[in-house]
Structure 1
């Protein structure tokens, strides 16, 4: 045998001696890799070498392991070999033979992944030069992306499209900081946007590759988004292809629906009595939390995609309320990332007997019309229950940011308040000491704004803890404020039990005051309190324009008078901090100013209620009697006209949230990279026709 073996090797050369003199099989492709890595050229004297090479199944793990063993100088020495492998892989994509094309793409993916992994150790070599070569990099990347686009948009086997998406995903996720991946400059110049849009608009492609397509687009949008013009941001912001936009929404909706369904099934009341319940509870204590966190990590990418679509593209708002009947579970995404979601819990037959939901409930809910916003609100009600670890906190924060953008949009608000667009939104509640956890799977059909307000009320009531999630509270109160501003502006009278919101706000004020000394060590509770009081001020000043009826306005005054001690104590607390120089003085002064009308109401009506009770020889008054005093004394009440109550700072990602999204993107990429395995080539080849 010569020092430069050809691809056609005798059978006896496929075997090598292993331990204990046993014969172990060595793959032909591994022998060729070994020759290439020794600097040999197996194609010498064999003009069909590369055609035959790409008929052999890629051993990505071996390639990556061998490159990992090399030092920086050795990687540089292999530059010509790696350049040649990439060059011939790209050339092979012209081939109509699907096996060759798939193996060529998996070779590219494996080499990109391995070289980037090696470069992360800072071995001092240039990735582009080692992979492709400076002199031909631009031309080769143009050809590569053109051919990937052709595969994604042509009528070719799904496995070829999967491999093409895999190349792009491996390239885009090669570095955890996407903006430092200079190879993406070539993807900025040679766009894949149109191919992704075509996948989203095609039902067959969407069902197989929709998850990867929206993740691909979402990550491309992140590239140097704060530093330079990103063409994908521009193209996504002006996309008006209804099929693609609805396809995008359906993918997100399906993935979130799967999460909601899995949660419902996991919390369904088990059968079999007390001992079965106890066994189920104890078992779930050890596995449920970890599974839930992993599922939420998987949904970070989905939420990020939804965020970018809503944030950048106003046309996407219409898809939020596009009504449809819940579909059957979607085909799992083709990327390795999809395997994190665990066993299929979509079919009741695959569930353990103690977790099967009531069939009538499933059947009824399956027949109810729904939309992406309904699904998203239910998802929010699940993930916002427990926010103790970083993953869950960030997931809940992203949900609230998305809801903030929706609440700021005039058209979205008009849809949410449309009395002719009513939906049943099942909202899940956090278990608490004073209440049993019950989820109404057949809630009343109402405008979506009511469900959103219910979500905000529930969050307000259920997160009063010493480690208070102040940032999330400010976000949730901001959403309620934006909804009220829309109602005031457009004079929309939503039929909603507003007393629930007022009670939640008063309870939160009481909690803040009872934990004043502890909370002030870390948080500006005066700013939080001002946000709550200003919501009351909106009702006081403009409530007659959007409350459902005059009785609701009377009830507002009744609640303020009834709970006057809370507001009196709040004013006293703020006043204490205005008289001394300190960190919170300015915020405390603002809070005292926001309380002026609330205090005016209390100071005006309380004496009148007391005098009416004395005149009628009553020690306590009923609600109706207090309301009668209120109605009789409106004329003599003087209130101060407060400015800018219906104004708010519109959401802007930069600069306040830039670091949050940078970290979120890094986490999504990190999760994808961890899931990247060596099973892709095998599964893709098995899908090909023989």
Structure 2
């Protein structure tokens, strides 16, 4: 029988995708004829890229190998940018994914090799800038990758002095995609942040003069959309929407809760997913760095962030999205230094807004009331507030939550300094303008005094030599003393004022122990006071108030008008009667604070920028 001309070939041990074989061809000798073929590149970009295998192959090459295959890399770049410019799907999207990985790996390797090697890619960077002018949506992802990879080197100045600002803003205005607008916003933030403490960054200067309100509104809305998504990632791990009135809650209320079928509680679910919260927020929140750069440099941006309305039925107002996300971020800030760093950046945005009198007025105005979804994933819970409130009320809630949910013996000092400083600034504004704010003030007094109790209990953990300790104690004491001295100017009713004095009477022993523990640091009068010799330190004022009412209670008891355990109502009555006999030392300066100076936050901002840049790199690889 004649043998068949067909022969069975041995099966390969594993099937290799065609695109991976084409990657191999790129880095083979004697491949020039293949690389000059239009058919090769058509097939190359028609196939979906395997970015993982491409990255692995590139990372195995030495910098010297890249120089050897310089011709191949130049042709790859030229063909890729041509496909991007042609905008014919799916080849254009495959090209952007391929070039993003290629330039990220190659750039990093050549940075590590030598400056001369880096200069070989400069012509390609010029092409990126030219392509950016025509194909912004695609080139912006590559540019973020390049800038992120080069962030710690002097070569990023190449991008700083290429004016990408007009093109990026034009792109924001023309694009209808929030994702693309977010990337453009992120790019501008990274550029404006680079080495701004070392030289006059041209992008930062452009932000200061930027008054295109339509573009700013688009940036604000893109920022808000990003934050809404980031907030929803926390909710996806643990749904924390307060339950309404139901049969189950009714049975429990009347003592028949045993009839309700057992369901996993929110606490049980939280324990199951506790580790997941540590991975949040995701990389998209690097956009906070851009929002900070805009907020510090541009008052118009801050105004629109606070005042822009939402899209009814579709999207909440941008400031509502910002505050809602901030609530979730700060309730979980203790889980990682990364989350804490982003929290500090967000609190600086709030600080910039509060320190502007016109914007702070908007925060306290019922005309700008917002409904804000606040985090309720860990006890103690904030009171339910379903109706719109002035934004300042939500900000105070967030700051209270920050204080209550991040307590650790090794305290995050910067986070607490920021939170307490903002509480003090808010109360100072309300006092100075005599603005009455409807709020659950009792919760604020309870939080501040509980934190004071915490500091007293764990005083050995806070060495007096710590330079951050005075910055922590001063706003805490100033906020309490200011409320004692001027609370009637912003509290909505006498009951809220009485409650503050009642809580100080309860804390009498704690106040004395606190002064004993931190004496050298709390025996100073407010630094902004005039004629300071006649002023009493805030802690002495608080102790004086507590002692005054303790004496009144003792006097009433000695007259047989009170028992050994007087009721809250009886004590409150004595408090109201004791206002007339209470004499406080002069307390000027309690409502004053130092304005924000960016240089004082340099260390924290540089750490946050490094985190944001790494997240930006991850974001464009997604």
State the TM bucket, normalised to the shorter chain. 0.7 to 0.9
User: Shift of residue 483 of structure 1?
Assistant: 0.6
User: Shift of residue 382 of structure 1?
Assistant: 1.7
The 1-side partners of 2:382 and 2:493 are apart by 31
Structure 2 equivalent of residue 277 of structure 1 = 264
The 2-side partners of 1:89 and 1:649 are apart by 53
Structure 1 equivalent of residue 210 of structure 2 = 239
Structure 2 equivalent of residue 446 of structure 1 = 389
Give 2:402's match in structure 1, choosing from 445, 459, 462: 459
Say yes or no: does 1:34 pair with 2:25: yes
The 2-side partners of 1:521 and 1:268 are apart by 42
The count of corresponding residues between Structure 1 and Structure 2 is: 582
User: Shift of residue 526 of structure 1?
Assistant: 6.2
Structure 1 equivalent of residue 450 of structure 2 = 507
The question of whether the paired residues in 2 share the 8 Å contact of 1:456 and 1:476 is answered with yes
User: Shift of residue 168 of structure 1?
Assistant: 1.6
User: Pairwise mapping of residues 565-604 of structure 1 onto structure 2 (< 5 A)?
Assistant: 565-575=509-519, 585-586=520-521, 593-604=537-548
Structure 2 equivalent of residue 70 of structure 1 = 61
User: Shift of residue 296 of structure 1?
Assistant: 0.7
Give 1:410's match in structure 2, choosing from 349, 352, 357: 357
Give 2:309's match in structure 1, choosing from 320, 323, 330: 323
Say yes or no: does 1:129 pair with 2:114: no
Say yes or no: does 1:394 pair with 2:394: no
The 1-side partners of 2:298 and 2:578 are apart by 50
User: Shift of residue 94 of structure 1?
Assistant: 6.7
Q: Secondary structure at the match of 2:59?
A: helix
The 2-side partners of 1:570 and 1:267 are apart by 38
The question of whether the paired residues in 2 share the 8 Å contact of 1:293 and 1:391 is answered with no
Q: Secondary structure at the match of 1:423?
A: coil
Q: Secondary structure at the match of 1:55?
A: helix
Moved more, 81-90 or 295-304: 81-90
Q: Secondary structure at the match of 2:264?
A: helix
Give 2:199's match in structure 1, choosing from 228, 247, 253: 228
The 2-side partners of 1:23 and 1:631 are apart by 85
Structure 1 equivalent of residue 492 of structure 2 = 548
Give 2:604's match in structure 1, choosing from 656, 660, 665: 660
The 2-side partners of 1:602 and 1:467 are apart by 30
Task: Give CA deviations for 1:54-106 in whole Å, capped at 9, x if unaligned.
Answer: 53434675665554343343333344554455466667777687777667656
The 1-side partners of 2:292 and 2:212 are apart by 18
Say yes or no: does 1:309 pair with 2:255: no
The question of whether the paired residues in 1 share the 8 Å contact of 2:144 and 2:617 is answered with no
User: Shift of residue 570 of structure 1?
Assistant: 2.2
Structure 2 equivalent of residue 338 of structure 1 = none
User: Shift of residue 631 of structure 1?
Assistant: 4.9
- Alpha carbons of 1:231 and 1:54: their partners in 2 closer, same or farther (altered >3 Å)? farther
Structure 1 equivalent of residue 172 of structure 2 = 200
The question of whether the paired residues in 1 share the 8 Å contact of 2:338 and 2:611 is answered with no
Q: Secondary structure at the match of 1:170?
A: helix
Structure 2 equivalent of residue 115 of structure 1 = 106
- Alpha carbons of 1:658 and 1:530: their partners in 2 closer, same or farther (altered >3 Å)? closer
Say yes or no: does 1:185 pair with 2:157: yes
The 2-side partners of 1:75 and 1:593 are apart by 68
The question of whether the paired residues in 2 share the 8 Å contact of 1:71 and 1:123 is answered with no
- Alpha carbons of 1:111 and 1:127: their partners in 2 closer, same or farther (altered >3 Å)? farther
Structure 2 equivalent of residue 496 of structure 1 = 439
The question of whether the paired residues in 2 share the 8 Å contact of 1:296 and 1:392 is answered with yes
Structure 1 equivalent of residue 5 of structure 2 = none
Structure 2 equivalent of residue 357 of structure 1 = none
User: Shift of residue 213 of structure 1?
Assistant: 1.7
Structure 2 equivalent of residue 146 of structure 1 = 130
- Alpha carbons of 1:26 and 1:447: their partners in 2 closer, same or farther (altered >3 Å)? closer
Give 2:324's match in structure 1, choosing from 372, 378, 385: 378
User: Shift of residue 533 of structure 1?
Assistant: 1.7
Q: Secondary structure at the match of 1:277?
A: coil
- TM-score normalised per structure 2: 0.80
Root mean square deviation of aligned Cα:
3.9
Structure 2 equivalent of residue 172 of structure 1 = 147
The 1-side partners of 2:516 and 2:23 are apart by 81
User: Shift of residue 482 of structure 1?
Assistant: 0.8
Give 2:368's match in structure 1, choosing from 409, 421, 426: 421
- Alpha carbons of 1:74 and 1:548: their partners in 2 closer, same or farther (altered >3 Å)? same
Q: Secondary structure at the match of 2:442?
A: helix
- Gap runs ≥5 in structure 2: 1-7, 249-259, 527-535
The 1-side partners of 2:395 and 2:365 are apart by 14
Structure 1 equivalent of residue 3 of structure 2 = none
The 1-side partners of 2:491 and 2:574 are apart by 20
The 1-side partners of 2:198 and 2:17 are apart by 49
User: Shift of residue 240 of structure 1?
Assistant: 1.8
Structure 2 equivalent of residue 12 of structure 1 = none
Q: Secondary structure at the match of 1:384?
A: helix
Q: Secondary structure at the match of 2:537?
A: helix
User: Shift of residue 220 of structure 1?
Assistant: 1.7
Say yes or no: does 1:649 pair with 2:594: yes
The 2-side partners of 1:556 and 1:385 are apart by 25
User: Shift of residue 418 of structure 1?
Assistant: 0.7
Structure 1 equivalent of residue 254 of structure 2 = none
Q: Secondary structure at the match of 2:614?
A: helix
The 2-side partners of 1:555 and 1:64 are apart by 63
The 2-side partners of 1:30 and 1:311 are apart by 50
The question of whether the paired residues in 2 share the 8 Å contact of 1:400 and 1:475 is answered with yes
User: Shift of residue 315 of structure 1?
Assistant: 0.7
The 1-side partners of 2:21 and 2:371 are apart by 58
The question of whether the paired residues in 2 share the 8 Å contact of 1:63 and 1:110 is answered with yes
The 1-side partners of 2:15 and 2:515 are apart by 82
Say yes or no: does 1:251 pair with 2:222: yes
User: Shift of residue 472 of structure 1?
Assistant: 1.7
Moved more, 497-506 or 458-467: 458-467
User: Shift of residue 256 of structure 1?
Assistant: 1.9
User: Shift of residue 148 of structure 1?
Assistant: 1.7
- Alpha carbons of 1:150 and 1:526: their partners in 2 closer, same or farther (altered >3 Å)? closer
